[in-house]
Amino acid sequence: MTITPPSPAQPSSQVFEYAPAPESRSIVDIAPSYGLFVDGEFVDGSGEAMKTVNPATEEVLSEVAVGTEADVDRAVRAARRAFTRVWGPMRPADRGKYLFRIARLLQERAREFAVLESLDNGKPIRESRDVDVPLAAAHFFYHAGWADKLEHAGLGPAPRPLGVAGQVIPWNFPLLMLAWKVAPALATGNTVVLKPAETTPLTALLFAEVCRQADLPPGVVNIVTGAGDTGRAVVEHDDVDKVAFTGSTEVGRSIARAVAGTRKKLTLELGGKAANIVFDDAPIDQAVEGIVQGIFFNQGHVCCAGSRLLVQENVHDEVIASLQRRIGTLRVGDPLDKNTDLGAINSAEQLARVRELSDIGEAEGATRWQPDCQLPDRGFWFPPTVFTGVSPAHRIARDEVFGPVLSVLTFRTPDEAVAKANNSTYGLSAGIWSEKGSRILAIADRLRAGVVWANTFNQFDPTSPFGGYKQSGYGREGGRHGLAAYLSTGDEQ
């Protein structure tokens, strides 16, 4: 298959011109069609196959099977068999060794995964290569070590696996979210039925191949591709013991309703509207880098994105001027170009949502600013965007845009900053920029958010628990805390 890379957009006032530096896509071999991965084999799905496209070009990458209720049932039965006969009884140290193998295989095939992720998702190769894939491998390596040490995890003397985990993941970090779900589930002795996102199934299917290369016993990991109906079938299957979901708060609510009254254990990682608070004593240049990293990383398709900038009033103009200057140097374009900072919006549907909320922002009275940059003709694109003059009542200050759109609000006192930061139904993450340590710690104490980044933003690590307060969900992923989501500790009541 040949795909013409989109021409990179050229910021208007570049001091240095960049020559195109595309990563070769010859390292990946995309099949014309893919089946479901059930019980160690690729099998046909019963639904009508769906197409997955490269959002940077709108070209079809492959056809992917759609799992129906019957397909999900087969996958759950395979997972149950594997749990009862193989994975459950296995020596924990051996379970760990399989995970170590997977971690190594991900590292060995890292470039292939990175290119495939950028093709299917639209994210810059710099991010898939330096963040998504290395972190996914790190998650498996980290959890591998837990497999035979669970009785030391502080979750009771004899924590037990739950059984079959049904997992539904989003499109913004397809492989990384798979790793966040699959690694802890397997390390704690559970087996898995995973439903990747409709628009980004390819790295999960390549991961299935890694499971085969690792000789992972059949049925331990099952991957059922499809859209919302497939996900619903996974969540609602009677023989699933544990449901883990990352995605929108709206879908999270319907999942919480669906598992009500069952024995299923549920963890949810949902939306966010993080405040990124800049005090007047912050080093402005560092803060601006952090603001850019906070909102434009992964095109803002990040649940913990720093989408509400709260800047102290007396440095507002200075921060905004510096921020606009910096945004003017961002390169939007070909995700496979190693110089690209912002890639494509993941889908036409998401692009429509970003456009709609931005238009509402303007209609409600905020001021839109975008750098002068050319976007490629084909594909789904949205320029980095800053709204100033945003009031806390505006939709763009309350709703998750899930795109490269920053809303700027101001504050005068630390109390006002905390009140505005906490004025959200979400509580996933927050940022603080200040040179004063005592202030950082005091503000961090008062923010109702699960992750607080001080003088940094959007950092992730498998040892570091991640998850939300309030309507951003419950349960943690990563660290000792993340194991609890997949274990029965015996003192739940």
- Residues within the interface to another protein (CB under 8 A): 138, 154, 156, 249, 252-254, 256-257, 260-261, 268, 270, 425, 440, 444, 449-456, 459, 461, 463-467, 469-474, 476, 479-481, 484, 489-493
What is the nearest approach in angstroms of another protein to the Cβ of residue 183? Answer: 15
Decide if 356 contacts 397 (C-beta within 8 A): no
Looking at beta carbons only, is 124 or 473 nearer to another protein? 473
Active site residue 303: yes
Which DSSP symbol is given to 18?
A: P
Do the strands 385-388 and 36-38 form a parallel or antiparallel pair, or are they unpaired? unpaired
Phi, psi of 174, rounded to the nearest 5 degrees: -55, -50
What is the nearest approach in angstroms of another protein to the Cβ of residue 156? Answer: 7
Looking at beta carbons only, is 254 or 391 nearer to another protein? 254
Decide if 382 contacts 354 (C-beta within 8 A): yes
Give the separation between CA 197 and CA 485, rounded to whole angstroms: 21
Looking at beta carbons only, is 205 or 291 nearer to another protein? 291
Ranges of H-type helices in 221-315: 228-236, 249-259, 284-296
One DSSP character per residue, 333-362 reads S-TTBTT-SB---S-HHHHHHHHHHHHHHH
Reading phi first (left if > 0) and then psi (alpha if -120 to 50, else beta), residue 473 is in left
What is the nearest approach in angstroms of another protein to the Cβ of residue 478? Answer: 8
What is the nearest approach in angstroms of another protein to the Cβ of residue 234? Answer: 18
Give the separation between CA 447 and CA 440, rounded to whole angstroms: 11
Give the separation between CA 354 and CA 380, rounded to whole angstroms: 11
What is the nearest approach in angstroms of another protein to the Cβ of residue 268? Answer: 7
Looking at beta carbons only, is 35 or 467 nearer to another protein? 467
Kind and range of the H or E run holding 36:
strand 36-38
Phi, psi of 322, rounded to the nearest 5 degrees: -65, -40
238-276 burial string, b = 16+ CB within 10 Å, else e? eebbbbbbbbebebbeebbeebeeeebbbbbbbbbbbbb
Among 23, 127, 303, 400, the active-site one is 303
Looking at beta carbons only, is 34 or 453 nearer to another protein? 453
What is the nearest approach in angstroms of another protein to the Cβ of residue 42? Answer: 34
Residues pairing with 54 in the sheet:
59
Q: Three-class SS of residue 467?
A: coil
Q: Three-class SS of residue 28?
A: coil
Among 23, 117, 127, 269, the active-site one is 269
Task: Give 144's contacts (C-beta < 8 A, 6+ positions apart).
Answer: 96, 97, 98, 99, 100, 102, 103, 183, 187
What is the nearest approach in angstroms of another protein to the Cβ of residue 493? Answer: 5
What is the nearest approach in angstroms of another protein to the Cβ of residue 485? Answer: 12
What is the nearest approach in angstroms of another protein to the Cβ of residue 321? Answer: 25
Task: Give 134's contacts (C-beta < 8 A, 6+ positions apart).
Answer: 107, 110
CA–CA–CA angle 387, 391, 396 (5° rounding): 50
Which DSSP symbol is given to 132?
A: I
Looking at beta carbons only, is 281 or 461 nearer to another protein? 461
- Chain-centroid distance of CA 77 in Å reads 28
Looking at beta carbons only, is 256 or 360 nearer to another protein? 256
Distances (CA, A) of 163 to 36, 78, 102, 379, 428: 21, 12, 21, 42, 28
Report, as residue numbers or ranges, the catalytic residues: 269, 303
